[in-house]
Amino acid sequence: MNQQHWNNAQHRVNQPFCELTEQLFYTVKSATNEFNLRLEFLFAQTFILIYQGKDITRIKKVNNTTSVSGYSP
């Protein structure tokens, strides 16, 4: 097999492989972006719930003692 035939054969093998790799990369990238957006939304929702005062404990220093308000055993 001479060099020209070898290059053609290699190109025929590499072309679909490169396209497949590129397609896989973009699929993973878009899935990752979607996952990150959902994660950010989840954090935002959690922060909103905490900020509204649900499930929150405030720790404050008073006379060198630590007291936790909003906590009932």
Give yes or no for residue 3 having a pLDDT over 80.
Answer: no
Taking the whole predicted model, whether its pTM rises above 0.75 is answered as no
Question: Strand pairing of 65-69 and 58-62?
Answer: antiparallel
Q: Of how many residues is the chain composed?
A: 73
Check: CB of residue 38 under 8 Å from CB of residue 49: no
Q: What is the reported pLDDT for 58?
A: 54
Three-class secondary structure of residue 61 per DSSP: strand
Q: How many CA atoms lie within 13 A of 22 on its CB side?
A: 6
Give tens-digit pLDDT for 11-69.
Answer: 666 677 778 788 888 888 888 888 888 888 888 888 777 777 654 455 555 555 555 55
Domain boundaries, the chain: 3-69
Q: Is residue 29 exposed (0-12), middle (13-18) or buried (19+ Cβ within 10 Å)?
A: exposed
49 vs 6, residue with greater confidence: 49
